[in-house]
Structure 1
């Protein structure tokens, strides 16, 4: 890894400097602490008015959550915002750098942050995982114009750390899901553990909707909805509802551990009105078995684009699937004792 070489002097011109001590400091950090240290050092180097490392979260729309950042000396950590009408959206949609040296407010007139804070120039650097998927964004903003030479050296510095930042963002996501499962549902919440599992599946996959279901013990042709989340909202009216496997893609889970439709869901199942009215085009169903291999339930994800799962998602889905199976069996045991 190259040493950071850019340091802004009082005149605003870039001076060359070696920051080996700072790099050693970075190497000893992990997770959010690493991201915050990186942001602090880059702010010192670039002398920016706004800086943030944000995680992309996709539900019904693209949103960012800042994991580390500053604006006018105030921390932006955990600040969350929509990507609509922003240069951020252009960066994540194209998976390419967005660089505006001047008049960024004119270029993106509907971005409230740019307008309210009076930013003049902007860098949006998309952060991608090893599979080329954009999972985050590094943002810098100034209330002055910037030059190509200045930004080129800053971008060299960011490029050196981009892969590490991507790894830390993925690790934070994995730890957040595992901590949520280990902690269990909020004791003050009526949602319960099935809501927790459903919520974490949706957060992991970044999809429009997810539901968790239990196979009916009274009628094997039916399954019962345990929790249903769509667009970040709970569909309470669906909970406890019995649906038939027949005529739905879930029927394939009777023989398959996993079934996918990457596009054309409504065309494949024209009799399902909800597939036509909701923004669903792709389907992922995962079967849940007990220790003897008997099917006890499943969870389903819907999205308006293909649902892709790589190594990290696959490993975490296995954990979520096993937890769902355990909770279904525990619920059945509790109901049996009460009967």
Structure 2
């Protein structure tokens, strides 16, 4: 185990007692915490103004700009957490992979990775060699952000190994990830090597964010929904567990009053050692939820395709959940959206704790005032 430095927001006590962190740790809060995936950017006019003339990956690697973009929705909406502004291909770029994000299309790679030899060329960059210098801009952006956030937690961000591998094999976005799934079965040894490499690159990226000040970490598996449960369990889950292992050992201590509940140490009034909360989210992964939790996550994000109470049932009603307002509802009349949000909140009571979020990202055309209104609704809501 590795203790976070004393100035870290969790270790210093600034965020350890926040609604978000305690919810991720399974402690239901009177006020349900809320943040939105893709809240940083896209729908905010101040984001679009700031980004004029700057390419996406350049913005991600500019510490001052990345920090400002992360902070914008916290200021505007009053959400309970900032989500670090980045992109899932940033660690690949930092590892030397030639990739650019083309407007309207997404990440496009100069060379696809489709053979064992292609994987060997990737492995010429050892993820273990990606030290502090590699992630210096990321760490600086996190430090700038947490200094401004105060007692509001920052969530670290990384793409899961399968999603990174799928992008690499396809060479860009894909609807069915057929090439990636083909490589998985046609050359399982090369696939396993590719997954191990992406796991270590993604894990190192996530660890850099947490060490610099993030109070939680979320692993996004955007494309895992294209997999069967059997393929996920055999060919993907071990790599996701490997990615999370890079941050699983990071701990901090919380001083608890005797009898306050929690661990035996807390009951005795001794410091309670806790790990940095880890969240795992995937798109179209209703059939994979338990397997996604079992890789080492503390909480599981649920997309909009499955009711939250059913998701909690599949998780045994023992796992904190995050989600799962349908992004399409954000453009519906307010009474329709309000009823939907209240329904999600009620269904979330089936889990030990609930962090309200969207079941996917904020659509670019969303009216920002609607998001602010949703935050106000969630913060005012109380379980009957």
TM-score, normalization by structure 2 = 0.24
More helix by share: 2
Report the structure, 1 or 2, having the larger strand content.
1
Q: Point out which structure has higher relative CO (alpha carbons under 8 A, 6+ apart).
A: 2
Larger radius of gyration: 1
